[in-house]
Amino acid sequence: MIINRTPIHVEHVKKGEYKISLKLDNWEISKLVNENALNELVDQINSATGLTRITESFECSGEDAQKIKKFWDQRSNWNLCNECQFKWKECHNCVVKSESPLERSLLLELRKQNIEMVMQRRINKDGSFYEFPKEIDFDTILTIPDFYVHSGKSKLCIYADGHTYHERTERQALRDRNIDRELQKLGFIVLRYTGQEIRKDCALVVENIKSNID
């Protein structure tokens, strides 16, 4: 456990008893505590570092909250996060669900255009679905679109592909075509955008998405 770059070590000594150690340079302090005291300390730490607020705001796990805070704290993300109009609104989607900078860019542009979407929805072969982070059932799963938009009669499955069309292997292209056909049979509209399209003009990509919304 790291708090403000200070390492705190917790060791399970015996049933109901823990050793908490704080190490700084050439000295160390430690204390034996019971489980209640340890839990109280953890709550105080989470509250002080903002993890409790993150967990409650996004109704996410402590692990996801740590991912979000770590992302915020990275120097390379300071400008992105501090200037983002959707901070405390889309952070869980942006940090935890987005699997690439491409998805992150498309997510933020969709939200700027007030388009409500669901990320990483698990769509089964029969058209039923369940949500992230439920474990994937590989016997029934058809696809997991990066974004799912449902408006009126329109049901859009949107993919942000990291490679261009000509970079796909024959196997990848065949797999995608088969998925697209099955989705279309189930009444979905399938939209795939390359990384080049998203990087070049993400706003134009979103305009295209909007044109497919009922």
| Long-range contacts formed by 37-44: CB under 8 A, 24+ apart | 38/10
| Long-range contacts formed by 199-203: CB under 8 A, 24+ apart | 199/102, 199/105, 202/105, 202/106, 202/109, 203/109
Share of the chain above pLDDT 90, in %: 67
Q: What is the pLDDT of residues 2-32, one digit of tens each?
A: 444 446 778 888 888 988 887 766 778 888 8
Q: What is the pLDDT of residues 117-149, one digit of tens each?
A: 999 999 999 999 999 999 999 999 999 999 999
Residue of 67, 62, 116, 63 whose CA lies nearest to 89: 116
Q: What is the pLDDT of residues 39-48, one digit of tens each?
A: 888 778 777 7
pLDDT of residue 4: 41
78: how many CB neighbours lie within 10 A of its CB? 11
Q: What pLDDT band is residue 180 in, cutting at 50, 70 and 90?
A: very high
pLDDT of residue 168: 67
pLDDT of residue 137: 95
Q: Which residues contact 118 (CB under 8 A, 6 or more apart)?
A: 131, 147, 148, 149, 150
Q: pLDDT at residue 109 above 80?
A: yes
Q: Position of tokens 């669900």?
A: 97
Mean pLDDT of the chain: 89
Task: List, in order of start, the domains of the chain with CATH numbers.
Answer: 1-49 (no CATH), 56-97 (no CATH), 101-211 (3.40.960.10)
Share of the chain above pLDDT 70, in %: 93
H helices, E strands: number in the chain: 9, 11
Bridge partners (DSSP) listed for residue 195 = none
